[in-house]
Amino acid sequence: MQKIGVFVCWCGSNIAATVDVQAVSDALAKEPGVVFSTNYQYMCSQAGQDMIQEKIREFGLTGVVVCSCSPRMHETTFRKTCEKAGLNPYMVEIANIREQCSWIHKDKETGTEKAIILGRAAIAKVQLNAPLTAGQSPVVKRALVIGGGIAGIQTALDIADAGFPVDIVETKPTIGGKMTQIDKTFPTLDCAACILTPKMVDAAQNENINILSYSEVEAVKGFVGNFSVTIRRKARFVDETKCTGCGLCTEKCPQKKVPNEFNLGLDNRRAIYIPFAQAVPKVATIDPNYCTMLKTGKCGVCSKVCTAGAIDYQQKDELIEREYGAIVAATGFNPISMDKFDEFAYSQSPDVVTSLEFERLMNAAGPTGGTLLRPSDGTHPHTLVFVQCVGSRCDGGEKGKPYCSKICCMYTAKHAMLTREKYPDTDVYVFYIDVRTPGKNFDEFYRRAVEEYGVHYIKGMVGKVVPENGKLKVQASDLLGGQQLHIDADMVVLAAAIEPDKSARPLATMLTASMDTNDFFTEAHPKLRPVESPTAGVFLSGACQGPKDIPETVAQAGAAASKVIGLLVKDHLTCNPCVASSNEMMCNGCSACEKVCPYGAITYIDKDFRGPNRTTLRRRVAQVNPAVCQGCGACTVACPSGAMDLKGFSNAQIMAEVDAICK
């Protein structure tokens, strides 16, 4: 039997006005196990807390019931109070007689009666409370950033600056991501490469950052503070430590007809390649799908010209396993495929390009050396039509995406402006549903495109693009002018919607992180915890959480890094002790609990039990990892044998409360 102390708070007149506190403390004094009961004006005041501590010592209390305001208000306060007096903090229960009694009732008699019942329920519960100790789990002081775009690079740099080692895993041969392919950035029109490549070099030179390029995350085990991650280092058939990045092999390779993905297939590269001049790490990679040596065993030119002896045709994929305290998902985005949008003739004419392809055509390091030329015949285009919202803001989902891709209005204005600036002889039309420019200096930028650069903005959608005699016949509606337009265009640029990278969903499964219907990672709270995933220890950076422009991405990357640093500075994590636990003697290993656990906190082990006649029985039993369990209790109800229970909210405790209330 517990020795329980009951402390009834007046809360000034907040409680005392509608609840007869003296009657409550007198009535509760008669409850079984109660050895002391009193009431006081402000229990949460220093004097009130001192009294609780004094009575704990005086009566050797093993349980405390405070009848006061909501536990959401002062549960922590009273737990700390009791802890200081040597009582386990989880031996405290709060009866909420303010928000759920005195404030909602006017009649003092009813209020008093209800307060007594609520007090009884709390006493009945505390009778069954057991001291709980918050477990501690150590924190591995290293972070993993998945994705090496600007989001991943910035997150890694910020974490590394705080002194923690970071690994960046990037699936491509180089870090840099989409930003490397962009020509200029809005609204300042500074060159993307000029601001990004120094950051890439910083990341490569930072001694706390380890870049694992051409690698993929294969499996994730563990939990916050203690993740164990298997990473596949794909064979690049070049020894990274020996390759100097001289590029001789990429010039001599006889296999010249490989579509260059860096330029989105607008030109070709060799089978051995360095994606672009400023690649980090600047190491050649052999594409096994095209290399003649790897496919037929005959060639070996690159090996002959390589003075460093870095070529290794025998290289195999390598699996490495590393421990991390925190994981940041920064998997980024891709423009959607234009397959379903055949009305724009993307597959029929090479002069219909996506905006990202247009970036490459305008880029000095692109396939045309920065001169805007039609991909079909290499002539200079005079009339350009930009189509916005291709696949964005589509209702009914199947063809496009329901959301706004957010960045298209701005980059289209940028493209239109740059075109007009470089080639004043061009006519540029932009078809839009709405122009959305909420951002610092964004609307000014768009207005400049219209007012200073004379870009024709037309509200309406393009209905059809038909290639005819080397021209693109564009049919469109002008909603404001109320007429149909027919434009003979030389080029059509489609602002394709953006979608999360395909690697995001399998990754989310590995991380047990949740995703929305569009495969964007879900944040722990849409407003108050925007860079954390609901899974502890997993953080979100960049466009994998939702469409973002570069400044937003960098801001979020920094925020994610600060959350990671906040986690890694801790030596130990204190776990919530109110977690599920399984009674191994009752567990039959059926897996019902594992299936409902949203956190993957339940695992199974084969355990030996002593059987009759000195035999040993091996049984499969559930085990809860207290560091991963968040204490929702879903498993406790799913368990058919009653083996699973939740500490702090056990079946017996809740039943006792039910009994006390229904008495």
Partner 1 sequence: MQVKEEFKPTIVAFCCNWCSYAGADLSGTNRLQYPANVKIIRIPCSCRLNPMFILRAFQRGADGVILCGCHPGDCHYTTGNYYARRRMTLLFSMLDYLGIERERTRVEWVSAAEGAKFAATMNDFVETVTKLGENKRLEDLRCKSE
Residues engaged in binding partner 1 (CB under 8 A): 70-72, 96, 98-101, 103-107, 110-111, 113-114, 117-118, 121, 514, 534, 578, 596, 598, 630-634, 636-638, 646, 649, 651, 654-655, 657-659, 661-663
Q: How far is the CB of 369 from partner 1 (least distance, A)?
A: 51
| The total number of residues written for the chain in this structure | 663
Q: Cβ of 40: how many Cβ atoms within 10 Å?
A: 18
| Residue among 71 and 400 whose Cβ is closer to partner 1 | 71
> Hey, what are 496's tokens?
């394709």
Q: How far is the CB of 90 from partner 1 (least distance, A)?
A: 14
| Residue among 234 and 529 whose Cβ is closer to partner 1 | 529
- Chain centroid, CA 653 distance in Å: 37
| Residue among 23 and 479 whose Cβ is closer to partner 1 | 23
| Residue among 163 and 598 whose Cβ is closer to partner 1 | 598
> Hey, what are 634's tokens?
């879903």
| Residue among 618 and 663 whose Cβ is closer to partner 1 | 663
Q: How far is the CB of 61 from partner 1 (least distance, A)?
A: 22
Q: How far is the CB of 622 from partner 1 (least distance, A)?
A: 17
Reported as type and span, the H/E element at residue 573 is strand 572-574
> Hey, what are 247's tokens?
């590029």
Instruction: Give the CA count within 13 Å in the CB-facing half-sphere of 179.
Output: 33
Q: Do 152 and 330 form a contact (C-beta atoms < 8 A)?
A: yes
| Residue among 15 and 474 whose Cβ is closer to partner 1 | 15
| Residue among 190 and 659 whose Cβ is closer to partner 1 | 659
Query: CA–CA separation, 641 vs 660, rounded Å?
Result: 26
Q: How far is the CB of 79 from partner 1 (least distance, A)?
A: 15
| Residue among 204 and 592 whose Cβ is closer to partner 1 | 592
Q: How far is the CB of 520 from partner 1 (least distance, A)?
A: 15
Query: CA–CA separation, 306 vs 293, rounded Å?
Result: 15
| Residue among 109 and 421 whose Cβ is closer to partner 1 | 109
Q: How far is the CB of 17 from partner 1 (least distance, A)?
A: 12
Q: Do 344 and 494 form a contact (C-beta atoms < 8 A)?
A: yes
Put the strands of the sheet holding 427-432 in their side by side order: 352-354, 491-496, 383-390, 427-432, 456-459
> Hey, what are 179's tokens?
């930003």
DSSP state of 163: T
Query: CA–CA separation, 215 vs 170, rounded Å?
Result: 6
Query: CA–CA separation, 374 vs 419, rounded Å?
Result: 13
Q: How far is the CB of 515 from partner 1 (least distance, A)?
A: 11
| Residue among 352 and 656 whose Cβ is closer to partner 1 | 656
Q: How far is the CB of 113 from partner 1 (least distance, A)?
A: 7
| Residue among 455 and 629 whose Cβ is closer to partner 1 | 629
Query: CA–CA separation, 237 vs 256, rounded Å?
Result: 18
Q: Which residues contact 492 (CB under 8 A, 6 or more apart)?
A: 344, 345, 349, 351, 352, 353, 384, 385, 386, 387, 462, 465, 472, 474
DSSP result, 455-506: -EEEES-EEEEEEETTEEEEEEEETTTTEEEEEEESEEEEEE-EEE-TTHHH
Q: Do 229 and 217 form a contact (C-beta atoms < 8 A)?
A: yes
Q: How far is the CB of 534 from partner 1 (least distance, A)?
A: 6
| Residue among 171 and 636 whose Cβ is closer to partner 1 | 636
Q: How far is the CB of 210 from partner 1 (least distance, A)?
A: 33
Q: How far is the CB of 538 from partner 1 (least distance, A)?
A: 13
* Pick from 616, 609, 613: nearest CA to 584: 609
Q: How far is the CB of 581 from partner 1 (least distance, A)?
A: 14
* Pick from 299, 275, 271, 311: nearest CA to 287: 271
3-state secondary structure of 530: coil
Query: CA–CA separation, 500 vs 518, rounded Å?
Result: 8
| Residue among 115 and 409 whose Cβ is closer to partner 1 | 115
